[in-house]
């Protein structure tokens, strides 16, 4: 597969009962958006071409530190689904995240030039939630996928699968059919003999052929993207007890309070987690929780291109990177260490951001900001130790908008494809590689000297549009993952073409025009 404008958009290709199959659809043309500037007669010359990936969620799906059972509170037939906004601790396709990551590496490596401007691919950027649960083994798998090498996405007992797909719980998908489950019985999910062994086979990744930049996300830093690591949580992650059921005496109100409490950091909610009913699994020290500094330092090694993938050993989780003579990346860390899945920054980082953008103004460079959280999600004002103030979206946008050099902000987090104008710059949000549509973007900066055009083109991973039924190769498993993501039973009840995660034509293959500040 490749960029959709060249090879066609993946669409619904028929049904098997309630279960949607996929197929390759027609080409998807680019749409001009002129809210900030007119469309030039000729777009001009390419300045920079970037592959934008986000929310890979490389997942240890057998970890005791995951609480998949809480996701059942959002099932359509659950009495709590109207009381809770979202949970997101279980997906049928979470067994296949490493295979999707490998298939996206293959797709990026196949890009020979920008589909609009024709410039060479200069670099890639992964805007956070590269891992799912902030664990050491997940960090190792993600780095191996993008840097290249062999990884084995397995943990615990390496001879037997120990995740929820093997539990006698009808609300989880059981691909090998050992027990009845609602996903096959009510939603038409496939029977896939041998899958639980296939997903744990070693993967050889060629690694990205272009330099790539890293960004910290809430799932890279926090348990399930929400809860700060503690010694107690750390012991659960590496231990031998995995939660599989909620106590029968919990009321719907108590369950809703638990979810909101986990988001807000309420100690009473953490105490409730201790009441979950466990079963025994094989302990594994590689599941240990990583620190923020360890996340940063793990990117710094001799083979990393560019050095540290933007980070510096012992340095901050935010940085400046000059991509070429004309473009500077300003990478933010929007994760709140106090907890919560939404984002913000501290006052010191805001001061740093202002200074970096001022320097790019002076040097007449173009500034591309990158973060995990989108602007609308920068609402997390939880203060950590010392009560330091958190800076939220409105103040950050005000700071960015004071600088002429700022032309683009790349991010993810929402798992939705979106594009928004902000006065003098554009915000481009990538979808995720775990939920539908499992796409990234190719982003090109092109200028005619007066008008700067930001061209975005959706990028599919290398798994075929229609799953063949085979599980022999990485691409087969990635193709199955995409199909499973299109059949999320908690997803919106709309036609696949109208799914909000995929965005509209105004969010996907678009030409975003604005005045070139250097003119």
pLDDT in the model for residue 76: 87
Q: What angle do CA 116, 458, 100 make, to 5 degrees?
A: 135
Contact present, 413 and 435 (Cβ < 8 Å)? no
pLDDT in the model for residue 4: 61
CB atoms within 10 A of CB 351: 12
Residues 355, 350: Cα–Cα separation, whole Å: 9
Averaged over 374-379, what is the pLDDT?
98
Asked whether residue 1 carries a pLDDT value surpassing 50, the answer given is no
pLDDT digits (tens, 9 = 90+) for 320-371: 999 999 999 999 999 999 999 999 999 999 999 999 999 999 999 999 999 9
Query: pLDDT category, 5, cuts 50, 70, 90?
Result: low
Averaged over 32-45, what is the pLDDT?
97
pLDDT digits (tens, 9 = 90+) for 487-517: 999 988 889 989 999 999 999 999 999 999 9
pLDDT digits (tens, 9 = 90+) for 168-202: 889 999 999 988 999 999 999 999 999 999 999 99
pLDDT digits (tens, 9 = 90+) for 299-324: 999 999 999 999 999 999 999 999 99
Domain map (residue ranges) of the chain: 5-515
Query: pLDDT category, 19, cuts 50, 70, 90?
Result: very high
Percent of the chain with pLDDT over 90: 82
Residues 256, 441: Cα–Cα separation, whole Å: 36
Asked whether residue 216 carries a pLDDT value surpassing 80, the answer given is yes
Which CATH architecture fits 5-515?
A: 4-Layer Sandwich (3.60)
Mean of all residue pLDDT scores within the chain: 94
The answer for residues whose C-beta is within 8 angstroms of residue 271's C-beta and 6 or more apart is none
pLDDT in the model for residue 226: 84
DSSP string, 360-395: HHHTT-EEEEE-SS-GGG-------TT-PPEE-HHH
pLDDT digits (tens, 9 = 90+) for 68-117: 999 889 988 888 988 887 788 999 999 999 999 999 999 999 999 999 99
pLDDT in the model for residue 384: 74
pLDDT in the model for residue 267: 75
Contact present, 338 and 382 (Cβ < 8 Å)? yes
């Amino acid at each position: 597969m490749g960029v959709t404008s060249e090879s066609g958009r993946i669409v619904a290709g028929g049904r098997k009962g309630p279960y949607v199959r996929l197929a390759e659809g027609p080409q998807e043309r680019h749409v001009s958006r002129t809210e900030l500037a007119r469309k030039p007669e000729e777009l001009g010359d390419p300045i920079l071409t970037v592959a934008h990936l986000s929310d890979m969620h490389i997942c240890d799906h057998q970890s005791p530190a995951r609480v998949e059972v809480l996701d059942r509170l959002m099932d359509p037939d659950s009495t709590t689904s109207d009381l809770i906004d979202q949970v997101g601790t279980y997906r049928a396709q979470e067994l296949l995240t490493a295979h999707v990551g490998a298939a996206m590496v293959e797709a990026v490596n196949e890009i020979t030039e920008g589909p609009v401007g024709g410039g060479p691919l200069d670099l890639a950027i992964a805007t956070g939630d590269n891992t799912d649960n902030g664990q050491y083994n997940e960090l190792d798998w993600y780095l191996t996928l993008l840097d290249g090498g062999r990884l084995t996405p397995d943990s615990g007992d390496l001879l037997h699968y120990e995740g929820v797909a093997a539990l006698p719980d009808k609300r989880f998908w059981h691909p090998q059919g050992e027990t009845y489950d609602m996903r096959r019985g009510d939603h038409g999910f496939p029977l896939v003999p041998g899958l639980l062994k296939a997903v744990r086979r070693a993967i050889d990744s060629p690694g990205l052929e272009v330099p790539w930049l890293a960004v910290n996300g809430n799932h890279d830093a926090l348990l399930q993207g929400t809860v700060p690591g503690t010694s107690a949580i750390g012991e659960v992650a590496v231990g031998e007890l995995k939660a599989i059921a909620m106590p029968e005496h919990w009321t719907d109100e108590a369950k809703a309070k638990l979810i909101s409490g986990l988001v807000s950091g309420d100690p009473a909610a953490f105490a409730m987690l201790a009441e979950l009913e466990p079963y025994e699994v094989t302990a594994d020290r590689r599941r240990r929780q990583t620190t923020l500094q360890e996340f940063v330092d793990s990117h710094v090694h001799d083979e990393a291109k560019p050095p540290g993938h933007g980070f510096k050993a012992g340095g901050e989780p935010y940085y400046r990177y000059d991509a070429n003579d004309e473009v500077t990346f300003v990478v933010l860390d929007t994760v709140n260490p106090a907890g919560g899945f939404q984002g913000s920054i501290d006052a010191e980082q805001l001061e740093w951001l202002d200074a970096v953008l001022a320097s790019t103004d002076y040097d007449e460079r173009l500034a591309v900001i990158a973060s995990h959280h989108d602007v609308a999600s920068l609402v997390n004002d939880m203060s950590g130790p010392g009560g330091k103030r958190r800076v939220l979206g409105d103040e950050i946008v005000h700071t960015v908008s004071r600088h002429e050099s700022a032309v683009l902000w790349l991010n993810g987090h929402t798992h939705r494809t979106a594009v928004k104008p902000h006065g003098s710059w554009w915000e481009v949000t990538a979808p995720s590689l775990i939920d539908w549509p499992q796409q990234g973007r190719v982003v090109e900066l092109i200028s005619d000297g007066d008008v700067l055009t930001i061209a975005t083109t959706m990028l599919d991973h290398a798994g075929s549009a229609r799953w063949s039924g085979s599980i022999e190769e990485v691409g087969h498993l990635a193709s199955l993952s995409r199909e499973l993501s299109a059949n999320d039973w908690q997803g919106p009840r709309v036609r696949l073409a109208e799914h909000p995660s995929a965005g509209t034509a105004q969010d996907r293959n678009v030409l975003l025009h604005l005045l070139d500040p250097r003119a």
